[in-house]
Amino acid sequence: MVKISVLYPGKPGSRFDGEYYFNEHMPMVIRLLGPALKAVSVETGISGAMPEQPAPYVTVCHLTFESPAAFYEAFVPHAATIQGDIPKYTDIEPIIQIGEIRLSR
């Protein structure tokens, strides 16, 4: 299993519309990726390691697939639609990481 992590770094003065992201963007992504998408979770940053520190990421999304190939097969046909929607909710350039899930409980 692999996890595609999409991280939106917190930057002073940046814009992130959480309501649009949760209510419009993510339902569209889930629908477009279809049954290849095995799990999804989205986190909203609360703080850094200490309560008074700002969260390093505004939002982090994790998408789970059987393999990198399964991700690419599901994503590539819809890449333009998914990526084209980003300006509607943020001006932050997301950081994307593909990782192998080695431990999960």
| Domains of the chain by residue range | 2-100
C-alpha span between 26 and 76 (Å, rounded): 17
Q: Are the C-beta atoms of 33 and 94 separated by less than 8 Å?
A: no
Dihedral angle sign, alpha carbons of residues 29, 82, 60, 96: positive
pLDDT in tens, 52-61: 999 999 999 9
Dihedral angle sign, alpha carbons of residues 69, 81, 6, 60: negative
Domain 2-100 is in which class?
A: alpha beta
Q: Are the C-beta atoms of 26 and 61 separated by less than 8 Å?
A: yes
Torsions phi, psi for 100 (to 5 deg) = -85, 130
pTM of the full structure = 0.93
Provide mean pLDDT across the span 28-50: 97
